[in-house]
Amino acid sequence: MPEDFEPVIIGFLCNWCAYAGGDLAGVSRLQYPPNMRAVRVMCSGMVHPDIVVHALQKGADGALVMG
Amino acid sequence: MNVELLTLSEVEEFSGNEGNFSVRIKKNPRYVDMDKCIACGLCMQKCPRKVDDEFNMGVGKRKAAYIKYGQSVPLKYAIDAEHCIYLTRGKCRACEKFCPTGAINFEDREKHLSIDVGAVILAPGFHPFDPSGFDFYGYGRITDVVTSLEYERMLSASGPCMGHLIRPSDHTEPKKIAWLQCVGSRSTNRCKNGYCSSVCCMYAIKQAVVTAEHLNEGIPQQTIFFMDIRSHGKDFERYYETAAAKGIRFVRARPHTILAGKNNMGVTMQYTAEDGRMHCEDFDLAVLSIGLEAPEDGPVLAAKFGIELNSYGFAQTTDFEPVRSTRPGIFVTGAFQAPKDIPQAVTEASTAACEAARALMPARGALTHEKTYPAEQDVTSQEPVIGVFVCSCGINIASVVDVDAVAQYARTLPHVGFVENNLFTCSADTQSLIAEKIREHHLNRVVIAACTPRTHEPLFQDTLREAGLNGFLVEMANIRNHNAWVHQALPEAATQKAKDQVRMAVARVAQNDPLRQLKVDVVQKALVIGGGVAGMNAALALADQGFDCVLLEKSDRLGGNARRLAATDRGQKVAPMLTRLIERTESHARIKVLKKAVLRSAVGSVGNFVSKIEVDGDTRAVTYGTAVVATGAAEYQPREYLYGQDERIMTHLQFDDQLAQNEAAVGRARSSVFIQCVGSREPQRPYCSRLCCTHSVKNALRLKTLNPEMNVYILYRDIRTYGEREDLYKSARDLGVIFIRYGLDSQPVVSRKGDDLFVEVFDPVAQLPLKLYADYLVLAAAVVPHDHQALVELFKCGVNADGFLNEAHPKLRPVDMSVDGLFVAGLCHYPKPMDESIAQARAAASRAGLILAKEEMQLDAIKSYVTENCDGCALCVDVCPYRAIKLEQEKIDGRSHIVTDPALCKGCGLCAATCPKEGVYVHGFTLPQLKAQVEALLAEATA
Amino acid sequence: MIEIRVGKLARMLGVHRNTVSNWIKSGKFSARPTVGRRYLIERADFIHFCRNQGISEDITAQFANSGGFAKPRAHAAYPVARDTDRHTEKGGGMTDGPIGSVMVVGGGIAGMQATLDLADSGYKVFLVEKSAGIGGAMAQLDKTFPTNDCAM
């Protein structure tokens, strides 16, 4: 693995908690690495396993389901 | 839309009568234009003046330009005129220079408004007790003595310590923490607060429990010093037991002195244990569990509004009218009425709303508006033409993300027909600009790259609807909260991320279809199940609001348990009230009372229920839009303490009957003994029945009044005379009622010797076994729930572990049940005294009234729907937490399939995630939509 | 009773905003201020004024239908008092029926819940809060018993 490797992480964020937490992190100006791209869902329970597999097949380095 | 929020405002003048009050309001200057402020926080960053932060109880600092807290509503900054350097000394104006929108306005002056209202609800809250006056606690002098509210802020993740607990003296983690209960409550020596604040026992236990989560190293030792633990609420006793099992130490003592530890670090405490021995112990930190006092401006408010206060400064109300003040048309609620916990405050807020709605019934809808929109154009057959609006948010986004580059990039994306960068996309003029561009460029989809959809999506949906597009054709890319604000040092990576976010949003919005919010007609009638005090109050409150009601009573007469009660906790006679209540219920034109009636079936969902009801053998169908469940509870039939073997041994209700019929005979007794917690707080029934302590104390007082020579003993585990009921407990002690504590492991023993009845118990204070003679032995028997099995099966609602009906959320929706359209009131929810039952019943009527006030109900658009791939495998049926999915048995094209009920579905999508063949989707979050987003990202993503 | 905004009325009538403001200030147009830069005027006064100013009946009617009026919403369950019935005697001691609005003092959890209940069931609510934002004491709590939920 090259030293400058930067993973592309796809995050599935529950609208009511994880996504709101992301918003609050912004308001509080908490800094974190810019590697994650968020997909907002209405409940982390709606994330189908297929979509996670799909993301990994298409080249995502990681998938994060937060809720 | 029908709420006018007036912040920084006070009532100046008040006059008029119920139905027609005139109010003059003074609106203090905010010095920030609310229309222009975008809550970027630059004014706060640039403000040079630091002030103690009252929101954080003075732990930590805020600036003179501030918001109260991160999630504040309205999310608009304000300038504190008392501390602002410019406003006090005439120089600075730094915030004005840096404000990107010109929102700072030092010319702002106080404004005066006049409004006319039909009713008033006073909810000014409470004042946290200030312990500085108690020299023996050392608060303010000893650094490591804090109040519970300060401790709360110290624990908070958004507080001054960022959720990492450190003690004030040396900023190290405290390992040994003590809580001192009843600081400023149950105390008449050093302060005038004879009442119990009702919430401190529970919050202290909560603080002790969560403390461990806020420490990095080691296991803390938490000790709570208390007089009686009052965990009398729903599921509170269990919480207390769990805390004790986790190792939190409970010591029955009231420490009299706190001294500073070495170098003013930590504390040393002396206390006398129950057995009389003195102890001296060191702690790293002491937390004072301060009580709730009436608000400081309570007397001013009372004078202004012409209402009376009680001796403690809380608003005067009665047990039968728990939120009605002494002046018609003015209602009081929350902690201003009496100290209370959040569920009770939320419930009684709805009660107050109900009373106001009742008073103003003829004017319902007279001053409210509904917005109208132009007809929606049909875009389903059109190719997507997407407009992208990239927001700079002043410099909030633009200072990190290269917005021009993002806009430039957006032009290259498929289907994009128009791109623009705005300084503030959310401003009112940009809304009209967006609408203009939609028409000019025939846009049929819109992407807003700005802040969070959680606060701003409704605004842009509204803009689209005003421009004739379906509101669901907009998508937001959150390039502020999730990007510019959190990657401030990485402008390049942030710009790249913003491009990715826009690309994802564009790909997704291209897949968006117009969504319809389903509407269902509401049957304008309510069903009330149970004809006790709660049921009748709910029915009357609904009927007085103009809604028809059907009231079911299983027996042949109304009244329920109240028929056997003599007086309320404040000594008001129940019988006359009950007679009037029954008369009004039976004669009200909008209430139909069905006696000997049993609910046999229930189908449908909120707005439209149909039930079969069996009335005295006949079955009839009733349709209704909403239901209030008030089925009551029963008194436990004891098996312990020789109950049933001697007629001198009675339960509370039996003893009340005895007192009613034979008062003189009871008064001749030499000795009476009460035993508390009979059937409550035991392993098989681990909840507190809430009302029995007060009941016993009341009856003991009555016996002492009848015959001051009588020996009256109350054998108890903790006396739970919460709130102002504490006054009764004090009077009982003053009159010589003897209270003897027993433990679960040292229960009293009842025996008969010849004709005499004896109770043996160990006195923990005297450390001696006692043998008490009893002419009467009264057992404070538990309140036990009825069997709710049938109801649970009919409505698919839930009960808690103790068998009481569950609310949807104990704090946010304390009278709503988990099934939409059902509400709960009275003893079937949890044991409670009559004033609380009445309050809850009227609160349920308020909540049910919200449904009945509308002729049709709009449902959320985000719902599951069945696709043609469904083959009826039914895997989703069991996972649906709302039971919104049914398997359709009849087969279509040789296949069975599922049907979803949009009225029950909450759009969580568990079904969609479970389905192995894409047979069910959630509107707006279909697999193709999510895939489009994922693919768009991964097509060219580099982090 | 009609609720108007100066800017909106000015656009409808094709005059400058200041003109409308001047009318109101001079008492020519007998509207009384409420909150949020809005004014209330009797329907009869409004129509009378428009007629005197020579404004066409069409524009008057158009304004009436555009939502400028505070209309009582018909409700199947009971008759609603007419707005004119209720407000004609305003100022001189109205007696006909109650005003369909409520003032809630205090923006804590209790005040907010009461406000929401009333606003959703057909009443106009003025929520008066003395500090800069609502939320009250509950917003200060880290977690709440017995579920350890976050207070936010």
Whether B157 has its CB under 8 Å from any CB of chain A: the answer is no
What are the pLDDT digits (tens) for B182-212? 999 999 888 889 999 999 999 999 999 989 8
Q: Answer yes or no: do B862 and A30 touch at CB < 8 A.
A: no
Q: Give the pLDDT of residue B941.
A: 60
Q: How confident is the model at residue B509 (pLDDT cuts 50, 70, 90)?
A: very high
**What does the DSSP 8-state code read for residue B60?**
S
Q: Is B278 exposed, middle or buried (0-12, 13-18, 19+ CB in 10 A)?
A: exposed
CB < 8 Å from B in window 94-113 of C: 94, 97-113
Q: How confident is the model at residue C71 (pLDDT cuts 50, 70, 90)?
A: very low
CATH for B29-109 is: 3.30.70
C85 domain-assigned: no
Residues of chain B neighbouring C106 (CB-CB closer than 8 A):
122-125, 334, 336
> Which residue(s) pair with A64 in the sheet?
A11
Taking the CB of residue B734, how many other CB atoms lie within 10 A of it? 10
- Phi/psi of residue B128, nearest 5 degrees: -65, 135
Q: Answer yes or no: do B486 and A27 touch at CB < 8 A.
A: no
The closest CB to that of B125, out of C118, C123, C137, belongs to C137
- Lowest-confidence region among B35-49, B705-719, B724-738, B882-896: B882-896
CA gap B579, B838 in Å, rounded: 15
The helix-helix angle for C17-26 and C6-13 (nearest 10°) equals 110
Q: Give the pLDDT of residue B921.
A: 94
Tell me the one-letter amino acid at A46: M
**Selection from B73-82, B365-374, B899-908, C113-122 with the highest mean pLDDT:** C113-122
Element (H or E) spanning B20, and its range?
A: strand B20-27
Considering only CA atoms, which of B449, B384, B440 is closest in space to residue B420? B449
Question: Residue C39 pLDDT more than 80?
Answer: no
- Supply the mean pLDDT for chain B: 92
Element (H or E) spanning A21, and its range?
A: helix A18-27
- Phi/psi of residue B827, nearest 5 degrees: -65, -20
C78 domain-assigned: no
The pLDDT of A7-27, averaged and rounded, is: 89
Locate the domains of chain A by residue range.
9-66
Q: Give the pLDDT of residue C2.
A: 67
B448: which 2 tokens? 């807003």
Tell me the one-letter amino acid at A43: C
Rounded to the nearest 10°, the torsion over CA B82, B85, B90, B93 is -120
Considering only CA atoms, which of B44, B126, B367 is closest in space to residue C110? B126
The DSSP annotation for B519-532 comes to EEEPPSEEEEE--B
Q: Answer yes or no: do B481 and A15 touch at CB < 8 A.
A: no
Q: Give the pLDDT of residue C29.
A: 73
Task: Tell me which CATH homologous superfamily contains domain B521-632+786-852.
Answer: FAD/NAD(P)-binding domain (3.50.50.60)
Q: How confident is the model at residue B105 (pLDDT cuts 50, 70, 90)?
A: very high
Q: Answer yes or no: do B349 and C129 touch at CB < 8 A.
A: no
The helix-helix angle for B148-155 and B200-211 (nearest 10°) equals 30
C91 domain-assigned: no
Element (H or E) spanning B112, and its range?
A: strand B111-117
Q: How confident is the model at residue B890 (pLDDT cuts 50, 70, 90)?
A: low
Task: Tell me which CATH homologous superfamily contains domain B127-293.
Answer: FAD/NAD(P)-binding domain (3.50.50.60)
What are the pLDDT digits (tens) for B664-714? 999 999 999 999 999 999 999 999 999 999 999 999 999 999 999 999 999
Q: Give the pLDDT of residue C93.
A: 38
- Phi/psi of residue B683, nearest 5 degrees: -50, -40
CATH of the domain at C57: 1.10.1660
The closest CB to that of B363, out of C100, C109, C141, belongs to C100
- Angle made by CA atoms B252, B258, B261, in degrees to the nearest 5: 125
Q: Answer yes or no: do C142 and B547 touch at CB < 8 A.
A: no
CA gap B113, C59 in Å, rounded: 30
> Is the distance from CB of B614 to CB of B600 less than 8 angstroms?
yes
CA C133 to chain B, closest CA, distance in angstroms equals 5
The closest CB to that of A45, out of B71, B487, B908, belongs to B908
Q: Which CATH architecture has domain B386-511?
A: 3-Layer(aba) Sandwich (3.40)
> Is the distance from CB of B617 to CB of B600 less than 8 angstroms?
no
Q: How confident is the model at residue C32 (pLDDT cuts 50, 70, 90)?
A: low
Tell me the one-letter amino acid at B521: D
C80 domain-assigned: no
- Phi/psi of residue B482, nearest 5 degrees: -95, 5
B864-922 matches B29-109 in CATH topology: yes
The domain in which residue C141 lies consists of 101-150
Q: Give the pLDDT of residue C91.
A: 34
C6 domain-assigned: yes
Taking the CB of residue C84, how many other CB atoms lie within 10 A of it? 13
C94 domain-assigned: no
Q: Give the pLDDT of residue B174.
A: 94
B457 three-state secondary structure: helix
Q: Give the pLDDT of residue B809.
A: 84
Residue of C nearest to B331 (CA): C104
Whether B70 has its CB under 8 Å from any CB of chain A: the answer is yes
B630: which 2 tokens? 């008030």
Q: Which CATH number fits domain B864-922: 3.90.180.10, 2.60.40.1180, 3.30.70.20, 3.40.50.150?
A: 3.30.70.20
Taking phi over 0 as left and psi of -120 to 50 as alpha, with beta for the rest, B263 belongs to left
Task: Collect all residues with Cβ–Cβ distance below 8 Å to B705 and sequence separation of at least 6.
Answer: B735
What are the pLDDT digits (tens) for B593-635? 999 999 999 988 889 899 999 998 899 999 999 999 999 999 9
B835: which 2 tokens? 């004033």
Taking the CB of residue A14, how many other CB atoms lie within 10 A of it? 21
Say if strands B749-753 and B756-763 run parallel, antiparallel, or are unpaired: antiparallel
Locate the domains of chain B by residue range.
29-109, 127-293, 298-363, 386-511, 521-632+786-852, 635-784, 864-922
> Which residue(s) pair with B608 in the sheet?
B605
> Which residue(s) pair with B127 in the sheet?
B293
C143 domain-assigned: yes
The pLDDT of B31-51, averaged and rounded, is: 87
CA gap B167, B165 in Å, rounded: 7
| Pair (C61, C118) in one structural domain | no
Q: How confident is the model at residue C75 (pLDDT cuts 50, 70, 90)?
A: very low
Q: Answer yes or no: do A25 and B486 touch at CB < 8 A.
A: yes
Which of C48, C68, C88 is the C-terminal boundary of a domain?
A: C68
Q: What is the separation of C-alpha C94 from the centre of its chain, rounded to a whole number of angstroms?
A: 17
Q: What is the ipTM of this complex?
A: 0.96
H helices of B306-394, in order, are 342-359
The closest CB to that of A28, out of B70, B496, B925, belongs to B70
**What does the DSSP 8-state code read for residue B414?**
T
pLDDT: which is higher, B493 or C2? B493
The pLDDT of B114-134, averaged and rounded, is: 94
The closest CB to that of A34, out of B454, B497, B862, belongs to B497
Element (H or E) spanning B46, and its range?
A: helix B42-46
Which of C21, C43, C68 is the C-terminal boundary of a domain?
A: C68
**What does the DSSP 8-state code read for residue B493?**
H
Q: Answer yes or no: do C99 and B67 touch at CB < 8 A.
A: no
Please confirm whether the linkage preceding A49 is cis (ω < 30° from 0). no
Best to test chain B binding among C65, C103, C109, C130 (most B CBs inside 10 Å): C103
Considering only CA atoms, which of B653, B661, B648 is closest in space to residue B637? B653
CA gap B862, B923 in Å, rounded: 5
Considering only CA atoms, which of B449, B436, B434, B446 is closest in space to residue B393? B449
- Angle made by CA atoms B471, B472, B478, in degrees to the nearest 5: 105
What are the pLDDT digits (tens) for B158-189? 777 777 889 999 999 999 999 999 999 999 88
CB < 8 Å from B in window 119-148 of C: 119-148
Q: Answer yes or no: do B938 and A59 touch at CB < 8 A.
A: yes
Q: Give the pLDDT of residue B896.
A: 83
Q: How confident is the model at residue C72 (pLDDT cuts 50, 70, 90)?
A: very low
Residues of chain C neighbouring B524 (CB-CB closer than 8 A):
76-77
Q: Answer yes or no: do C33 and B855 touch at CB < 8 A.
A: no
CA C52 to chain B, closest CA, distance in angstroms equals 28
Q: Answer yes or no: do B6 and C118 touch at CB < 8 A.
A: no
Q: Give the pLDDT of residue C38.
A: 63
Best to test chain B binding among A9, A10, A27, A39 (most B CBs inside 10 Å): A27
Q: Give the pLDDT of residue C94.
A: 42
Could you tell me the fold of the domain covering B635-784? FAD/NAD(P)-binding domain (3.50.50)
The closest CB to that of B922, out of A29, A42, A51, belongs to A42
Whether C82 has its CB under 8 Å from any CB of chain B: the answer is no
Considering only CA atoms, which of B635, B641, B684, B668 is closest in space to residue B778? B641
What are the pLDDT digits (tens) for B366-386? 888 877 788 888 888 899 999
Element (H or E) spanning B244, and its range?
A: helix B236-245
Terminal C-alpha separation, chain A? 31
C93 domain-assigned: no
Whether B912 has its CB under 8 Å from any CB of chain A: the answer is yes
**Number of structural domains, chain C?**
2
